[in-house]
Chains A and B, each alone.
Chain A
Amino acid sequence: MGHIRVTGLGKAYKQYPTRWSRLAEWLIPFSPPRHRQHWVLQDVAFEIAPGEAVGIVGVNGAGKSTLLKMITGTTQPTCGHIQLQGKVAALLELGMGFHPDFTGRQNAVMAGQLLGLHLEEIDALMPEIERFAEIGEAIDHPVRTYSSGMQMRLAFSVATARRPDILIVDEALSVGDAYFQHKSFDRILSFRKAGTTLLIVSHDRSAIQSICDSAILLENGRMALHGKPEEVMDYYNALLAEKEGQTVRRETLAGGQVQTSSGTGEAGILSVRLLDERERSIDAAEVGQAVVLEVQVEVRQAVERLVLGFMIKDRLGQAMYGINTHRQDKALTDLQAGERVTYRFAFVMGLGKGNYSVALSLSRLDSHLDRNYEWRDYGLVFHVINNRQEDFVGSAWLDAKTSITRTTEPMVAERQP
């Protein structure tokens, strides 16, 4: 249960030159097709094993939603096949089909029926739906009196009332307020633990990287990449910057990670090193050690402004710390071809034990989206070890200074003057 196999999938919309040509095509027997096929998705093939979680990323219009719609069955593919095993639940457009004049409870029943549930099943699930949605008395008020957040909560609760074998989520991770977002995310994670196959479309890097086993990148309706989430997200980020005819290069590093770099190349990164107190290059740092990140940049063509940014990411690709010289008011201006710049970022290693990588960007402004001279993921990979500090958990070293007071008097006494 929960198996998804997609083979040779494609979707084309028919475009007729005039309004009459469809009629002509329908009515005149043996007439040649009079429409043009506009392909929005082509040659998509992948297989998802039961219990696996796969993220789908891509820019707007890449075909993500179309793909999900075909998998859920609302849209028919033009060619190719989709095989699904097990019960499918989709969180595509939450709250669709809610009737404003009916109460939340009645709408929940209807939404359940649309999922193919029977009345008795819905009745049995109702207490849980109410409990999870946490909208209290409002469940018996008309939906038109609901806030959009309340509608979303109810819709999410109904859609996930029963654990499906396959769960399809489209950007729905942002349901309601921060509290409910966590709650809904937890529910999705618990489904995953229980063996539900997940298919998620999201632009949220950390969401994709923290739950997905692999990711698929769609580009112009085709599968551009299918691989490890970090790798795909890096490539996707580089792709976002690739608007100005830049090239994207991918190299496999010694450690097995795939290095992605892209950019227009007016300026480039020559070397990246992590140095200890004695200016020795290291690849492992102690927690609390004073280190320097040294980056050498070569200017190949004159640029009017240059900003270097770096970001330290953990092994899941979550950002730990990132800063750039623009934000530090240290952007350089009017650089000539042939110049070399050495940047030194000195800091105390405040990270916990683990593996970290450094991504670097050279750009004109704050964001690498405007003019991206070079973007490099995995510019440096280093370890953090902990032999000096007490053994702590987590990825941030906050260096808590502890003071403890013991007293025999009851706590209440303190409040009285």
Chain B
Amino acid sequence: MLLSLYRSLRDYRGFILGSVKREFQSRYRNSLFGALWTVLNPLSMIVVYTVIFSHIMRARLPGVDDGMAYSIYLCAGLLTWGLFAEITLRSQNMFLDNANLLKKISFPRICLPMIVLLNAGINFAIIIGLFLGFLLITGRLPGPALLALIPLLALQVIFCAGLGMILGVLNVFFRDIGQFYAICLQFWFWLTPIVYPISILPEWVQRLLQLNPLTNLIGAYQNVLLYGQWPVWSSLLPTLVIGVLFCLIGLRLFRQRVGEMVDEL
């Protein structure tokens, strides 16, 4: 099963890479600033949040007492949350958006989630690259703990891909999933310590937020990028387990329903 998936991905790598490239090109084809928009979008969000929370609401991070720290904290959470949101939102629509292609042309369907992952990956790489460059210039680049980003990102991709696959398949059969998840994502964002530090919450709410698999993951990013601290790996275990579980369920759903899917598009 996995082997055949791998084989179709390998045989169609030309199509996958080509699609990624074309999608990237087409997004900026008729725009003057091109890829700059990829950066400007989250940048504006960061500015808004920094101004509102850091200056107007006087939010301060415990231990570090300058305005810049909050911006870095915010970036660490917001950019990685952006990756999560992009993968899941686009996965959810990947089969519907490509309905025409799916109905007319026979190709391995597993290419579609791959294209989504690669596209989101490229966008994220651009933005995190700029962010790290910014840290380097301001002399706030964390030390060796930066290497922790690699396993953290791997963990996040597993989690997102699994969840995305489930949403993508279900959305073909139950279009409510798309509407529901968009609302769900709003709550999820505010229930994850991204804009605020978890320490400002009462003890019992903090414990409650531990149930959110993204709390510790985003927290780990923030620790790495702001304080240069290595993550507490054991705290990420539940996220990994849930992520792998999502992947298994997603693949199972995909395999069971991929044939039926075309009839519903």
- Residues of A with Cβ closer than 8 Å to B? 13-14, 22-23, 26, 72-76, 90, 92-93, 96-97, 99, 101-102, 106, 109-110, 113-114, 116-119, 122
- Which residues of the partner chain B approach A119 to less than 8 Å between Cβ atoms? 14, 18
Bitwise, B92-111 to A at CB < 8 A (1) or not (0) is: 00000000111111110000
Given A113-B15, A113-B18, A116-B15, A97 contacting B105 (CB threshold 8 A): yes
A96 & B104 in contact (Cβ 8 Å cutoff): yes
A189–B25 alpha-carbon span in the complex (Å) = 39
Closest approach, in angstroms, between the C-beta of A114 and any C-beta of chain B? 6
Tell me, yes or no, whether B22 is within 8 Å of chain A by CB.
yes
Write out the residue numbers on chain B whose beta carbons fall within 8 Å of the beta carbon of A22: 173-174
Bound CA span A93–B262, Å: 16
Chain A neighbourhood of B173, CB < 8 A: 22, 26
Q: How far is the CB of B111 from chain A (nearest CB, A)?
A: 9
Q: Is the CB of B18 within 8 A of A72?
A: no
Known: A22-B173, A109-B18. A73 touches B26 (CB 8 A): no
CA distance A116 to B14 in the complex (A): 7
* Alpha-carbon distance between A208 and B62 when the two chains are bound, in angstroms: 81
Given that A75-B263, A96-B101 are known contacts, is A90 also in contact with B26, CB under 8 Å in the complex?
Answer: no
Residues on the B chain within 8 Å of A113, using CB: 12, 14-15, 18-19
Q: Tell me the complex Cα distance, A73–B30, Å.
A: 36
What is the bound-complex CA distance between A122 and B18, given in angstroms? 12
- A282 to B: closest C-beta gap in Å: 55
Which chain A positions have C-beta within 8 A of B102?
74
- Across the interface, name the chain A residue whose C-beta is closest to B257: A26
Find chain A residues with CB under 8 A from B103 CB.
74
Say whether A93 contacts B104, CB under 8 Å: yes
CA distance A85 to B247 in the complex (A): 33
B26, A74: Cβ atoms closer than 8 Å: no
**Which chain A residue shows the least CB distance to B11?**
A116
Interface size on B, residues (CB 8 A): 26
In the complex, B259 has a CB within 8 A of chain A: yes
A14 to B259, CA, bound (A): 12
B262 touching A76 by the CB < 8 A rule?
A: yes
Contacting residue for B260 out of A74, A76, A90, A93, CB 8 A: A76
CB distance from B258 to the nearest CB of A (A): 8
Assuming the A-B contacts A96-B101, A110-B22, are A76 and B259 also in contact, with contact meaning beta carbons closer than 8 angstroms in the complex?
Answer: yes
Report Cα–Cα, A117/B22, bound state, in Å.
17
Q: Are A90 and B106 in contact (CB under 8 A)?
A: yes
Give the 3 A-B CB pairs with smallest separation, nearest first: A76-B259, A73-B106, A113-B15
Residues of chain B within 8 A of A102, CB atoms compared: 22, 25-26
Name the residue of chain A whose CB is nearest to the CB of B170: A26
Contacts of A90 on B, CB cut-off 8 Å?
106
User: When A101-B29, A110-B19 are in contact, do A14 and B260 touch as well, CB less than 8 Å?
Assistant: yes
User: What chain B residues lie within 8 Å of A14 (beta carbons)?
Assistant: 260, 263
For A122, list chain B residues within 8 Å (CB).
14
Interchain Cβ contacts under 8 Å between A and B, 5 examples: A26-B173, A74-B103, A74-B105, A74-B262, A113-B15
Q: Could you tell me the distance between the alpha carbons of A73 and B105 in the complex, rounded to whole angstroms? A: 8
Min CB distance B172 to A, Å, is 11
User: With A75-B263, A101-B30, A114-B15 in contact, is A23–B174 under 8 Å at CB?
Assistant: yes
Q: Give the complex CA separation of A74 and B259 in angstroms.
A: 8
Q: Name the distance in Å between A35's Cβ and chain B's nearest Cβ.
A: 11
How far, in angstroms, from A110 to B111 measured CA to CA in the complex? 14
By a CB distance below 8 angstroms, the chain A residues around B106 are 72-74, 90
Most A CB atoms within 10 A — which of B18, B19, B29, B173? Answer: B18
Residues of B within 8 A of A93 (CB): 104
**Measured between alpha carbons, how far is A23 from B15 in the docked complex, in Å?**
34
Nearest chain A CB to B64 CB, angstrom units: 47
Residues of A within 8 A of B105 (CB): 74, 96-97, 114
Q: Give B18 Cβ to nearest chain A Cβ, in Å.
A: 5
Chain B residue at minimum C-beta to C-beta distance from A100: B26
> Which residues of chain A come closer than 8 Å to B262, judged between CB atoms?
74-76
Q: Are B104 and A97 in contact (CB under 8 A)?
A: yes
B29, B102, B103, B105 — most chain A CB neighbours (10 Å): B105
Cα–Cα, bound, A92→B103 (Å):
11
> A97 to B15, Cβ gap below 8 A?
no
Interchain CA distance A109-B17 in the complex, whole Å: 12
Residues of B within 8 A of A109 (CB): 18
Residues of B within 8 Å of A116, CB to CB, are 11-12, 14-15, 107
Distance in Å: Cβ of B166 to nearest Cβ of chain A: 13
Q: How far is the CA of A115 from the CA of B34 in the complex (A)?
A: 30
A119 to B15: give the CA distance in the assembly, Å. 9
Closest chain A CB from B168 CB (angstroms): 16
Given the complex, which residues of B lie within 8 Å of A23, measured CB to CB?
A: 174
Nearest chain A CB to B169 CB, angstrom units:
11
